[in-house]
Amino acid sequence: MENKILEIKNQALDEINKASDLKSLDEVKNKFLSRNSQFNNLKKGLKDIEPSKRPKIGALLNQISSELSKLIEEKNDIFYKKELSEKLLKEKIDITLDGNYIPQGHVHPLTKTINEIVDIFNYLGFSLIKPELSPEVELEKYNFDLLNVPKEHPARDVQDTFYCENMDSVVLRSQTSNAQARQMVNSKPPIKIISPGRVYRNESVSARKNNLFHQIEGLYVDKNVNMAQLKGVLNEFIRLYFGSSRPTRYRSSFFPFTEPSVEIDVQCIMCHGKGCSVCSGSGWLEILGAGIVDPNVLEAVGIDSNTYSGFAFGMGVERLTMLKYAIDDIRLFFSDDVRFLRQSV
Ligand code: DAH
């Protein structure tokens, strides 16, 4: 009996020695120390042995199985640490690597310009108009009539203005000036508002013209509003928008709703006044129309023109954006070319 036990022990020692990893060690453990192992069967068989020999054999079996367990445990510990460090090495994370790039959305260049301009005029004391006073689908009354635009004016022609089919006197507004008419009908002076939005004109599309574009309208009505204030506000706007003072030029002009009327040019950013293809050789670029609100307009909207006066202006957002960023084709704003759109932050 004892020989048999020692034989199994030697076999177990041999196999423990040969085990090369956690898995094979576990197999050895199962083979020699589990319930159905040969050792356990020998223990179970103790009851059949002669009682006087039982304690010695029993003690031997216990001693061997705890020796083997200890050995297996020690080796298990070594294998475990080894495998763990191999695994950690394999799964090592390089924290110096860049993370995944998640592309960010962009504000459209025109929205960026509108936001900037609105901020500047907020700073100069103008508030943003209520959206309901600046609709894109508009009655002729606000787009033309109240603004002193005569019935036979060429701007009213279907060649210039989009009329809504089967709806009498309804147009896609051709200018944001409809907002000043609505604001004056709906409130009393002092009025100091700014109104950005889309406008539509029946034009053939080219690098300089699109049939949808954006304008920003401004209106200031109070007692004693005059041309000097208009110049002060618009010069300050130009300085803040372009980031430095720029030579400007006021040219007299004509709009049905202002008298006197002016157009403002800034020196061409491309050639600095020398004359180039962008400014058609003149050295100047027009950025807005403006003037002192015609007393006829004030009277038409119910404001006493003897007590109040006002100035108004309207500027093209595309034009201002093109000038600031040297963009040479208006159609880029309405294309879905992401290379263009991504440039705006
Ligand atoms: N509405 C004019 C246009 O589209 C621009 C303009 C000129 C607006 C003079 C004004 C203004 O408010 O006073 O060409």
Ligand 1 centroid distance, CA of 154 (Å)? 15
Which amino acid residue places its CA nearest to atom 7 of ligand 1? 289
Q: Which residues contact 295 (CB under 8 A, 6 or more apart)?
A: 259, 305
Q: How far apart are CA 219 and CA 72, in angstroms?
A: 92
Q: What are phi and psi of 324, to 5 degrees?
A: -75, -35
Q: Tell me: pLDDT of 345 over 70.
A: no
Considering the entire predicted model, what is its pTM? 0.72
Q: Tell me: pLDDT of 330 over 70.
A: yes
Q: How far apart are CA 219 and CA 223, in angstroms?
A: 13
- pLDDT of the residue at 46: 83
Q: Please state the atom number of ligand 1 nearest to the C-alpha of residue 199.
A: 4
Q: How far apart are CA 303 and CA 220, in angstroms?
A: 13
pLDDT in tens, 247-301: 889 999 999 999 999 999 988 877 888 988 778 899 998 999 999 999 999 999 9
Q: Which residues contact 185 (CB under 8 A, 6 or more apart)?
A: 142, 146, 301, 302
Element (H, E) at 64: helix 54-90
Average pLDDT, the chain: 92
Which of 34-38, 41-45, 236-240, 341-345 has the largest mean confidence?
Answer: 236-240
- pLDDT of the residue at 39: 79
Element (H, E) at 284: strand 284-293
Angle, alpha carbons 28-29-30 (nearest 5°)? 90
Q: How far apart are CA 57 and CA 66, in angstroms?
A: 14
pLDDT in tens, 187-246: 999 999 999 999 999 999 988 889 999 999 999 999 999 999 999 999 999 999 988 777
Q: Tell me: pLDDT of 313 over 90.
A: yes
Q: Which residues contact 90 (CB under 8 A, 6 or more apart)?
A: none
Mutate to test the pocket of ligand 1, among 178, 230, 257 (most ligand atoms within 8 A of CB): 257
pLDDT in tens, 104-114: 888 899 999 99
Q: Are 309 and 224 in contact (CB under 8 A)?
A: yes
Ligand 1 centroid distance, CA of 176 (Å)? 8
Q: Tell me: pLDDT of 90 over 80.
A: yes
Total residue length of the chain: 345
Q: How far is CA 299 from the centre of its chain?
A: 45
Q: How far apart are CA 267 and CA 247, in angstroms?
A: 6
Q: Which residues contact 94 (CB under 8 A, 6 or more apart)?
A: none
Q: Which residues contact 56 (CB under 8 A, 6 or more apart)?
A: none
* Residue where the block lists tokens 């957002």: 317
Q: Which two tokens stand for residue 197?
A: 């939005």
Section 17-25 average pLDDT: 93
- In this structure, the residues whose C-beta lies within 6 A of any atom of ligand 1 are 175, 177, 217, 255, 257-258, 289-291, 312-314
Q: How far apart are CA 334 and CA 206, in angstroms?
A: 12
Element (H, E) at 127: strand 127-128
Ligand 1 centroid distance, CA of 313 (Å)? 5
Which amino acid residue places its CA nearest to atom 5 of ligand 1? 314
Element (H, E) at 4: helix 2-18
**What is residue 208's three-state secondary structure?**
coil
Q: How far apart are CA 284 and CA 270, in angstroms?
A: 10
CATH number for the domain whose boundaries are 109-341: 3.30.930.10
Q: How far apart are CA 266 and CA 297, in angstroms?
A: 28
